[in-house]
Amino acid sequence: MKTITVVGMGYIGLPTAITLARGGFDVCGFDVNTAVLDSLRAGKLHIVEPGLQEALTETINSGRLTFSDTCPTSDAYIICVPTPFSVENGKRRADLKYVDSAAATVGRAIKPGALVILESTVPPRTTERMAKVLEESSGLTRDQFYTAHCPERIIPGQMLRELRENDRIIGASSPEAAELVVEIYSKVVQGGKLHVTNDVTAEMCKLCENTFRDINIAFANELSMICDPLGVDVFELIELANCHPRVNILTPGAGVGGHCIAVDPWFIHEQFEDTTPLILAARQENDFKPFYVAKKVHELAPDATIAVLGMAYKPNVDDLRESPSITMAHEFEKLGHKVICCEPNASVEAIEGIPNFSLAEAIEKADFSIITLAHDEFKADKQTIAKKPFFDCIGLMR
């Protein structure tokens, strides 16, 4: 394994390509988006991630990382393309069109003995589906190439460190495939352990990690809605309950957002509707929370101009995907409120039509604020927030 093509130069693919190049492999970053490739060829990052710009410059200069809009022949391929969900007849289903088209393209480039690793988060049995696409488009038989699923668990903000230090799950379709994957990851993973299993277990491992968190947060959100009429501080309650050595309840919030925790549980539920009522209930509970907050505040202050403080899906990022704050802001609009927001990480005038102001301006213009995220800017200026009535989804003002 000397040459590796990483398919998809996004949040996961690019840091992975850089890490592999630093590990001594000759890496080609392949993408279908020419704007992304133009930027990378010019040595400029198109995503925000600490330390990545310096690492990009270093690996391009070393000659070990190049970019291409055609998929070359190489010893191994790592597929890191999007896996969003689409809604069909009211039901959410994994949209695997990017995985299918990436596999078809890779299939046209592979030679016997090649290894294809799927790193995208996928529903169970997608690695086998990818193998069938590879077989069809390559003309090779199943025993002439190797496949594996190695789910990615790195967190934005710490990607380069976690790529080296996190444990890796290697879901190989054969012992030979496992050996080849271990050969690659053992050159870049320092500190973390490599765990070999089969591909379906690896697919389920990534999904069950995020589903576990979704269910735990749903419980915390449910507690917050019970505590409200009881006059109990849910954050104190959870702190006290977590003093028990075997209890670890996560934190309630405005709901659950992002492209992982709010999406991955659906990839299990879509295949096992009858046996996953708990997974479905957690998704529904977390999706309901922004509507609960909007209704509650509407009853308290029916004519108020509302400022939503935090529109991203988690603290200190600009990522708005599946953000419950955006759902909540639109719900306030439906209830007849004028709504503004403060999202200090997005330097735009409006987010989905909701005017975006600095914290001081938002508080000045609004009658009532909703604190949805513990952004550093909010933590540093609680006095400004306290000037007007607020609803605190996250316990920031305690």
Ligand X SMILES: NC(=O)c1ccc[n+]([C@@H]2O[C@H](COP(=O)([O-])OP(=O)(O)OC[C@H]3O[C@@H](n4cnc5c(N)ncnc54)[C@H](O)[C@@H]3O)[C@@H](O)[C@H]2O)c1
User: Looking at the annotation, which residues are catalytic?
Assistant: 206, 260
Q: How far apart are CA 188 and CA 6, in angstroms?
A: 15
Q: Give the residue with the Cβ less far from ligand X, 114 or 329.
A: 114
Structure tokens that stand for 51 in this block: 């330390």
Residues 72-91, mask of contacts with ligand X (x by CB under 6 A): --------xxxx--------
Closest contact distance (angstroms) between CB of 198 and ligand X is 20
The stretch among 28-36, 269-277, 278-286, 345-353 that binds ligand X (CB under 6 A) is 28-36
Q: Using the rule CB under 6 A, is 121 a contact of ligand X?
A: yes
The secondary structure of residue 356, as a DSSP letter, is B
Q: Using the rule CB under 6 A, is 101 a contact of ligand X?
A: yes
How many residues in the chain? 398
Closest contact distance (angstroms) between CB of 7 and ligand X is 5
Q: Which residue is nearest to ligand X (CB)?
A: 10
Closest contact distance (angstroms) between CB of 382 and ligand X is 29
Residue type, 86: S
Phi-psi region of 395 (alpha: psi -120 to 50; beta: other; left: phi over 0): left
Q: Using the rule CB under 6 A, is 160 a contact of ligand X?
A: no
Structure tokens that stand for 97 in this block: 């069109």
Nearest alpha carbon to residue 223 among 395, 60, 11: 395
Q: Using the rule CB under 6 A, is 7 a contact of ligand X?
A: yes
Q: Using the rule CB under 6 A, is 290 a contact of ligand X?
A: no
Closest contact distance (angstroms) between CB of 388 and ligand X is 34
Residue from the set 1, 3, 26, 32 that interacts with ligand X by CB under 6 A: 32
Q: Using the rule CB under 6 A, is 171 a contact of ligand X?
A: no
Residue from the set 40, 102, 148, 294 that interacts with ligand X by CB under 6 A: 102
The count of other CB atoms within 10 Å of the CB of residue 314 is 19
Number of residues in contact with ligand X under rule CB under 6 A: 27
Residue type, 270: E
Q: Using the rule CB under 6 A, is 268 a contact of ligand X?
A: no
At residue 118, φ and ψ (nearest 5 deg) are -95, 120
The sign of the torsion formed by the CA atoms of 235, 239, 244, 248 equals positive
Closest contact distance (angstroms) between CB of 210 and ligand X is 9
Structure tokens that stand for 259 in this block: 């492209």
How many alpha carbons fall within 13 Å on the CB side of residue 308?
A: 33
Q: How far apart are CA 186 and CA 28, in angstroms?
A: 19
**Which residues make up the interface to ligand X (CB under 6 A)?**
7-13, 30-33, 36, 80-83, 98, 101-102, 105, 120-121, 152, 154, 156, 259-260
